[in-house]
Chains A and B, each alone.
Chain A
Amino acid sequence: MVEIWNSWWFQNTLVGLLVVSGIAVVLRLRRREYWRLAYREVCRRRGAVICFFVLCLYTLVALIDSVGWRDALRDENGELMRDPRTGKVVYDRGGSALDHLLKGISSKKEKTYSSPMSRESFMLESVNRDGKVLRERPPLKHPGAHLLGTDRIGQDVFCQALKSIRTGMVIGILTTLLAVPFALLLGVASGYYGGLVDDILQYICSVLSSIPTVLFIASFMLIFGRGLPQLCLAMGIASWTGLYRLLRGETLRLREEEFVQAAVAMGVPSWRVLLRHIVPNVMHLVLITTVLRFSSEVLAEAALTYLGIGVGSDTISWGTMINDARTELTRDPIIWWKLCTAFAFMLGLVLPANIFGDAVRDALDPRLRTQ
């Protein structure tokens, strides 16, 4: 099972499905006047449009990093190598398409620290010259090649930051994908049916929401181990209660609307009423909540990784970068490039997400407008 999950074609199929379904949703929504109006509202703000393009850039990098890529191995003559038993072409271990694009830079490893675009190492070494032992900075193996410097084990910081983009985007999107269908289904059912169903679900919601979020995530990671999918699952479970309450309140209000009562009176089965009348009318709340929560989830990952309950240290993320770089500021002269790079890339994702989220919220629900 794990082999299929990790295999090249399965991962690529998943990514392809995600992209295709995203495009399908957008094409479907274009037919509705409500979403077209919202789209025009958002387009009127130049700041929001710029932020949207920045977000698209980040998504593109994350997608490139999600697509698997294998190189066919070639022998010394440049011929494709084939497995002697089956005759099939042999591939290398493979990585993502981003790994392939960055192979030029990421394979140029240094020994240790070096500042951005420098030609010599940052650390002093003892060099024997003409019988005298001098302390000086040895030149780099690849001078001037590292745009943002290298870290303690000589890896290029720019490559690490680019690879962290995927981790940040996955956390934001996967957490939402886990929490939203759950909260939508339960919230709408709870508000519509009421009675015992409502009581039970409310009880479960209050039990889950009274556990402090950080402690819940910490306990979850303590029990199931650290890793990206566990973190997304834990954050998803800890965060669905807010959306559940919101949707339940909105469903309670919608239930008394005339069009819903007309549908019930005409004998439409309740599941159809829910699907065709109630759910489309609460989708704006879902979208607002998910877009606004995206940025806080990315920020939370950095903090959780520092506390030791986030992603494992084998996954590259901005949290692990900041974690590693934290003690570097105490050196004299200071090593600032890894921390500042992680900070700049994280800000470059969270700030446009916040600004775009504000614009989406103002466009979709004028009552929540802050202007």
Chain B
Amino acid sequence: MLAYIVRRILYVIPTLLGVNVLVFVLFFLVNSPDDMARQALGEKNSDPVQVERWKEAHGYDVPLFWNGNASGIGRVTKTVFFTKSLSMMWGDFGKSDMTHESIGDEIVRRALPSLCVTAPIFLATLLINVFLAMLVATARGSVTDRVTQFACVVFMSISTLIYIIAGQYFFAKLLRWTPVSGYLPGLDCWKFLALPILVGVISSLGSGIRLYRTLFLEEINKDYVRTARAKGLPEWQILFLHVLKNAMIPILTNVPLQLLMLMMGNMMLENFFSIPGLGGYTITALNAQDFAIVRSMVFLGSFLYVVGLLLTDICYSLVDPRIRLG
């Protein structure tokens, strides 16, 4: 088991390196540092002297991959790739191209508001989906079941945009129960978070219930359930003590990955509700064409995903004793 974990961790490094190179090539293929300088300085100021000065100030005056002018190890380290992209591997995200703020500090500061939105949505979705799916699985074949199935498909077919706009219109404008958007740090934030959380939960309700219902149905049709019923166990005990535990295996094994990706924030919700989280950070950077921030967020997302996959695999082997890794 330990050997498997070590092997997987070692495999993470080439994957992250590959992501690094891919993102670097993608960004610098079309936009050379000269283009970036001209874009940042604007049309009026783009004479060659100003462009050179901008590039020097931002560290783009060295070549992209290979510096023939430097000596020894400097040939590799005094390049844009090493200082800007590879440095992300050990946590140095550098400075933003537009505002010169440290990106790493900003990420740490914005992580908490993102989590305040995504973590309650995750928990609430998990609980509600499990509960409703269990109820529906017990009533399979009946009219309730078919109506719920149809309702789930309808819920699934409505875009998140519509949920957000409708939620803002009904709850914030008509009923005035919550503010339309905004965020306050500290304990006051709950009244700003109520609507985003509600919208987030409802928009993922349809597909969640369908998925969990399938998992529960698979379990309920197994032999051990029939044996338990024959032995006289009450139905609720069978469901909650036996079926739930076994059906949750595929669900719980995805939890580490989902937990880690929570940090990236939900871009749509943060944009509509003006929550200063990592998702909103990414969108602002995209609109401002600040490549340094976008590169950092892409790398952060990849890092969280790869680590989350590793934790998922470990969790899978812990939860299901039939699986032995390594």
- CA of A220 to CA of B159, assembled, Å: 23
Q: Size range of the interface on B?
A: 35 or more
For chain A residues 163-217, which have a beta carbon within 8 Å of chain B?
203-204, 206-212, 214-216
A214–B14 touching, CB < 8 Å: no
B27–A223 touching, CB < 8 Å: yes
Q: Size range of the interface on A?
A: 35 or more
Q: How far is the CB of B182 from chain A (nearest CB, A)?
A: 15
From B162, B168, B287, B297, residue with most partner A Cβ within 10 Å = B162
Chain B residues with CB below 8 A from A215, complex form: 282, 294, 297-298, 301
Supposing A203-B18, A354-B156 touch, asked if A309 and B298 sit within 8 A by C-beta, the answer is no
User: What are 9 residue pairs bridging A and B, where the CB atoms are less than 8 Å apart in the complex?
Assistant: A210-B305, A212-B301, A215-B297, A219-B26, A322-B159, A329-B173, A343-B158, A354-B153, A354-B157
The segment out of A68-76, A82-90, A266-274, A300-308 that lies at the interface is A300-308
B306–A330 touching, CB < 8 Å: no
Chain A residues with CB below 8 A from B161, complex form: 302-303, 306, 319, 322
A323 to B, closest residue via Cβ: B161
B286–A358 touching, CB < 8 Å: no
Report which A residues bind B (CB closer than 8 A). Answer: 203-204, 206-212, 214-216, 218-220, 222-224, 295, 299, 302-303, 306-309, 319, 322, 326, 329-330, 339, 343, 346-347, 350-351, 354-355, 358, 370
A223–B165 touching, CB < 8 Å: no
**From B15, B30, B154, B210, contact of A207 by CB (8 A):** B15
- Flag B266-310 by CB within 8 Å of A: 1 or 0 each: 011001000000000011001101010010011001100110010
Supposing A218-B286, A370-B213 touch, asked if A346 and B159 sit within 8 A by C-beta, the answer is yes
- Flag B196-224 by CB within 8 Å of A: 1 or 0 each: 00000000000000100110010000000
A307–B301 touching, CB < 8 Å: no
A358–B165 touching, CB < 8 Å: no
A223–B29 touching, CB < 8 Å: yes
- CA of A216 to CA of B18, assembled, Å: 14
A322–B165 touching, CB < 8 Å: yes
A307–B213 touching, CB < 8 Å: no
B290 to A, closest residue via Cβ: A222
A220 to B, closest residue via Cβ: B26
Chain A residues with CB below 8 A from B14, complex form: 203
- CA of A222 to CA of B23, assembled, Å: 12
- CA of A210 to CA of B19, assembled, Å: 8
Supposing A203-B14, A329-B173 touch, asked if A211 and B298 sit within 8 A by C-beta, the answer is yes
